[in-house]
Structure 1
Amino acid sequence: MLDYLALPKAKASHEPAAGRIAAVPDGATGKGEGIDRTAKLYIGGAQKRPDGGASYAAQGALIPLGGRKDIRNAVEAAHAGRAKWAALGPHGRAQVLYFIAENLALRRSEFAELAGEAEVDAAIRRCFFYAGFSDKYQGDTIAAKPGYLIHVQPEPQGVIGIAAPNGSGLAGLMSLALPAIAMGNTVVAIPSQDHPLAALTLYQVFDTSDLPAGVVNLVTGPREDLSVELARHDDVQAIWHHGHGAGLKAVEEAASVTLKPVWSPLASDWKAPAAQGRAYLDQAVRAKTVWLPYGALPAGTGSSSY
């Protein structure tokens, strides 16, 4: 029933909404103090310049301004990375998530300057939580009738498009991306529009944590516009969009063309324990039902209708 029914509408959170952004032409520089940082998109395990070559200003830096073609490239990279990620198996994926936690902890002070200590600690906790669940979130076997078992097997959705919270640059992104990849999905994520630097530093952690190319792809830019492009893409199997109002409605309308599910998480404080749990894992999988006949059926039951 959960596949066809909607949860009650969440109350509007106090998280700041993402506003319109102004493009900065290619070749513009930063503040001019020291060496300017060149932030890039993260697609297919590599740092990429945006297709349009433009940037926008956020957190005192120039942030790549992604567009439709960057979303297209990220979705292609996510599909290309699915096979290798699935081949690792649940235990192998758990080890990668533990490795991400270790490397994130080693650079705790650096990320604390970008997102705050509380967000870094929450992101590390999420890594351990979902690494522990990666090989323990199993299906169920039900005795349906004499001589038959039904096995309900959770399978990954495929490629999940994620519009991360705008007010939480690190904990919000990790709270959504980690359960998705723990269940074997690959992700195209739109980080916080106003606080993206933590996400654009996080891909250095991914590169040193044995995360296969294409498992996590990051495209920064206008959050609502990129979310709609993700929802329109035929090869995206599910959308997770944190937000309410017109932005969520536009995503739902775009996703309805291909009948892909849209989930809007209810969390408002992404550092709190309530921002993790089995509900996130449930949204990351779909149920596959397998009938398993066994043994000799008792007399009189072999031809009875179910």
Structure 2
Amino acid sequence: ADLDGAVEGLVDGIWFNQGQVCCAGSRLLMQESIAEALIAKVRDRMSTLRAGPPLDKAIDIGAIVAPVQLDRIRRLVDQGVAEGATCWQPPMVLPARGLYYPPTLLSNVHPTSIVAQQEIFGPVLAAMTFRTPSEAVELANNTVYGLAACVWSESLNVALHVAAQLKAGVVWVNCTNLFDAACGFGGYRESGYGREGGREGLREYLEPVWFKNAPKLPAVKQTAPKEMEESAVPAIDRTVKLYIGGKQARPDSGYSMEVRSPDGRLLGEAPVGNRKDIRNAVEAASKAGAWAKATAHNRAQVLYYCAENLSQRRDEIARRLAAAVGEKQAGTEVDLGIERIFSYAAWADKFDGTVHNPPFRTIAIAMNEPIGTVGIICPNEVPLLGFLSLVMPALAVGNTVVAIPSETYPLITGDLYQLFDTSDMAGGAVNIVTGSAVQLLKTLAEHDNVDAIWSFTDEASAAAAKSYSVGNLKQVWTNEGRAIDWFNSEQAEGRWFLDHATQVKNIWVPYGE
């Protein structure tokens, strides 16, 4: 696109419906080399806009929806000017009657200014400059919102390179405000994670048939220890730590909790994590961006390596797990766990997107992208298989994970630390914090750097996950307190898990002259 074409798209993007649109392009990022010329063209185009009754087809700018919104727009613009922005409004006569606000251009806006960080929801455009495409991506993603973006460039290669990195659910390349029912529309982050249109929009209304009829999980019964305490702890006590950033770490509290078998025997002690441990784990996961940027083939190879290494230690891990769940279940968990890892390793480079053909001269590329950092509360009834069934699909598509393992037998995760260390797993891709799931869930769900919460324990935890997570609209997926047969691959493996581990970005690309 040339500058004149970009200006027309910009006008449609921000001053359509007076900027009172959820996908209004209220921030303008310009390369420094063309900023002065672009600002001049934008001002010239703004001078031709007409304000008046919106039912008049010759009118460009209509009225603001309510007095309270008009006051808010004025207040935010004044605050932006006080923070250093330069305000420019075209000379125009506004109707004497009605809630009108002139189209406004704020230039020299700092990235941390309130007009760059908050939705104004009015005819106000905040402009700033960048030097390189990577800097443009950083500035564009420096927001809590992520519904839509436009990329204008004469180089399609550069435009697609930038579009793939933007944290937005819809990206229009050299076009704006294109919609079609066959293409999903929805956001990232605090713009919400629902989708309208497309297959992903339909999935919002669907759930597996078996899940609808699944029974409720029974209440967990705690067995009191016997007066003469029996112990299944080996002669040399094994120290199990937390796993954060690819390293074993002692819990911040310094405390540990007893882990007992169903008949009350002491099996060992597990570290008790607290909010600081969760903070450290989330920080490590956020820094492990290399895992998401790795090719799907490379992620698949790492998961294959994990499965191979687990199969080498099959008997040892099954023997240790048998003390908690019985010999038969332990063997089945390990065998199915190996199969699950192999399955998601195979899915890693095959769970890709699609290309839509809207009724315009465009294509819409629907890309499956990782959500980001996923907090996972693992089920109690299957300590190893439940962990692998949830963590592996999240890893396969490029997410990083902070997992709270089963309280029934968290000690088994100690064997997985060595498994990840010897399988080329990126440091921080998997982080494991043991302790009380009820207490750790609150900290994890309220953390703003956690992008999704998966809770697969009881109904109370499912409700708590939804309640705690509203602070930043993170995605929440739970079992609604229902029982899942983790030994049944139809219920505990496949696309249902991969769909929840990804979010769909639609990139619109026009073609032709």
Question: TM-score range, shorter-chain basis?
Answer: 0.7 to 0.9
Which whole-Å deviations, capped at 9, do the CAs of 1:56-96 have from their partners, x for residues lacking one? 001410100001110000000001112x2123210000000
Amino acid at match of 1:281: L
> CA contact under 8 A between 2:245 and 2:281: conserved in structure 1?
yes
TM-score computed with the length of structure 2 as normaliser: 0.53
Equivalent residue number for residue 127 of structure 1: 341
Which whole-Å deviations, capped at 9, do the CAs of 1:187-226 have from their partners, x for residues lacking one? 0000001111221211110000000100000000001211
Structure 2 residue corresponding to 1:180, chosen from 394, 413, 417? 394
Identity %: 44
Structure 2 residue 509 is the aligned partner of structure 1 residue 292: yes
Structure 1 residue corresponding to 2:355, chosen from 129, 138, 141? 141
CA 1:167 to 1:210, structure 2 compared with 1: closer, same or farther past 3 Å?
A: same
Equivalent residue number for residue 100 of structure 1: 306
Equivalent residue number for residue 81 of structure 1: 288
Distance 1:20 1:252 in 2: 30
> CA contact under 8 A between 1:97 and 1:128: conserved in structure 2?
yes
Task: Give me the CA root mean square deviation.
Answer: 2.2
Distance 2:234 2:474 in 1: 46
> CA contact under 8 A between 1:56 and 1:65: conserved in structure 2?
yes
Amino acid at match of 2:288: G
- Cα drift, residue 2 of structure 1: 5.5
The secondary structure found in structure 2 opposite 1:248 is: helix
Amino acid at match of 2:304: Y
> CA contact under 8 A between 2:452 and 2:476: conserved in structure 1?
yes
CA 1:186 to 1:10, structure 2 compared with 1: closer, same or farther past 3 Å?
A: farther
Number of aligned residue pairs: 287
The secondary structure found in structure 2 opposite 1:144 is: coil
CA 1:148 to 1:20, structure 2 compared with 1: closer, same or farther past 3 Å?
A: farther
Equivalent residue number for residue 300 of structure 1: none
> CA contact under 8 A between 2:215 and 2:483: conserved in structure 1?
no
Which whole-Å deviations, capped at 9, do the CAs of 1:128-172 have from their partners, x for residues lacking one? 111111001111101102311111111100000000001111100
Structure 1 residue corresponding to 2:254, chosen from 24, 43, 53? 53
CA 1:233 to 1:277, structure 2 compared with 1: closer, same or farther past 3 Å?
A: same
Equivalent residue number for residue 114 of structure 1: 320
Structure 2 residue corresponding to 1:206, chosen from 420, 434, 450? 420
> CA contact under 8 A between 1:18 and 1:223: conserved in structure 2?
no
Amino acid at match of 2:284: A
Which whole-Å deviations, capped at 9, do the CAs of 1:245-302 have from their partners, x for residues lacking one? 2221111100012111110146622122121010100001111010011124xxxxxx
Structure 1 stretch displaced more, 48-57 or 11-20: 11-20
Equivalent residue number for residue 240 of structure 2: 39
Gapped regions of structure 1 (runs ≥ 5): 22-29, 297-306
Distance 2:394 2:281 in 1: 16
Amino acid at match of 1:43: I
Distance 1:16 1:131 in 2: 34
> CA contact under 8 A between 2:292 and 2:370: conserved in structure 1?
no
Q: What pairs with 1:153-168 in structure 2 (closer than 5 Å)? A: 153-168=367-382
TM-score computed with the length of structure 1 as normaliser: 0.88
- Cα drift, residue 16 of structure 1: 5.4
Distance 2:402 2:472 in 1: 17
Equivalent residue number for residue 489 of structure 2: 273
CA 1:17 to 1:235, structure 2 compared with 1: closer, same or farther past 3 Å?
A: farther
Amino acid at match of 2:308: E
Amino acid at match of 1:75: V
- Cα drift, residue 31 of structure 1: 7.1
Which whole-Å deviations, capped at 9, do the CAs of 1:35-70 have from their partners, x for residues lacking one? 111010000001111000000001410100001110
Between 1 and 2, higher relative CO (CA 8 Å, sep ≥ 6) is seen in 1
Amino acid at match of 2:462: L
> CA contact under 8 A between 1:16 and 1:166: conserved in structure 2?
no
CA 1:278 to 1:33, structure 2 compared with 1: closer, same or farther past 3 Å?
A: closer
Amino acid at match of 1:17: V
Gapped regions of structure 2 (runs ≥ 5): 1-200, 225-230, 261-266, 322-329
The ranges of structure 1 where at least 4 consecutive aligned residues each deviate by more than 6 angstroms after the TM superposition are 18-21
CA 1:18 to 1:32, structure 2 compared with 1: closer, same or farther past 3 Å?
A: closer
> CA contact under 8 A between 1:85 and 1:215: conserved in structure 2?
yes
Amino acid at match of 1:270: W
> CA contact under 8 A between 2:217 and 2:483: conserved in structure 1?
no
